[in-house]
Amino acid sequence: MGQMKLNIVEYPDKRLREKSKEVKDFDASLHQLLDAMNPLMMETNGIGLAAIQVAHPIRALIVNIPDEEGAQFPENLLEIINPVMIKKSGEAIYQEGCLSVPQFYEDVKRYEYVVINYQDRYGNTKTLEADGLLAIAIQHEIDHLEGILFIDKLSYSRRKKFEKEYKRIQKERKSSKKS
């Protein structure tokens, strides 16, 4: 089996709107996918990536929160399969971005603190308590599993701002003839 070739699915691709399916087999094909997602996330300076963003609609995601200097370490990689939010509280606003919605960043309101149950790549059940950036990232990625993007969470006026900027970005891309 060779290296898996993954590409980021970008808005407005309808595949991002699919509801991802529960992972039942914690087998080599799952491990191969996770092993290919991590370098892609590192190369693109991402801190979170859901499988559906690379065209695999399964309930799997990875997160790697950088330190204060922005450095990421392999030992901080979290592989989260079949997550379920069991506790949530507080409020936090953070400027989010998404590899599937390039070049757009906007403030989104989320829970400040969450607890999730999930499985690791071997199917072992785990519990994770998160606050700060990790809590934000987990909520952003769990939304992907439901076909929800961060731009869906914006107020009417900020969503309009996104539509405008998105059109501008598309025009720029066309005129520079890249993709």
Binding region for Co ion (CB under 5 A)? 98
Binds 16, which of ligand Y12, Co ion, none (CB < 5 to 8 A, cut-off by type)? none
Over the window 35 to 74, marking each residue x when it contacts ligand Y12 by CB under 6 A and - when it does not, the resulting string is: ---------xxxxx--------------------------
74 exposure class (CB count in 10 Å sphere: 0-12, 13-18, 19+) = exposed
Q: Please tell me the count of residues contacting ligand Y12 according to CB under 6 A.
A: 16
The residue number with the shortest CB distance to ligand Y12 is 102
Binds 96, which of ligand Y12, Co ion, none (CB < 5 to 8 A, cut-off by type)? ligand Y12
- What is the distance between the alpha carbons of residues 83 and 6, in angstroms, rounded to a whole number? 23
Say whether 141 is catalytic.
yes
| 44: nearest Cα among 58, 62, 18 | 62
Catalytic residue among 141, 146, 163, 165: 141
User: For ligand Y12, which stretch binds (CB under 6 A), given 13-21, 76-84, 89-97, 162-170?
Assistant: 89-97
Residues 6 or more apart from 101 whose CB is under 8 A from it?
10, 11, 149, 150, 151
- What is the distance between the alpha carbons of residues 141 and 150, in angstroms, rounded to a whole number? 10
Q: In the structure encoding, which two tokens stand for residue 47, read together?
A: 């801190």
> Which amino acids are annotated catalytic?
141
Q: Which residues bind ligand Y12 (CB under 6 A)?
A: 44-48, 94, 96-99, 102-103, 133, 136-137, 140
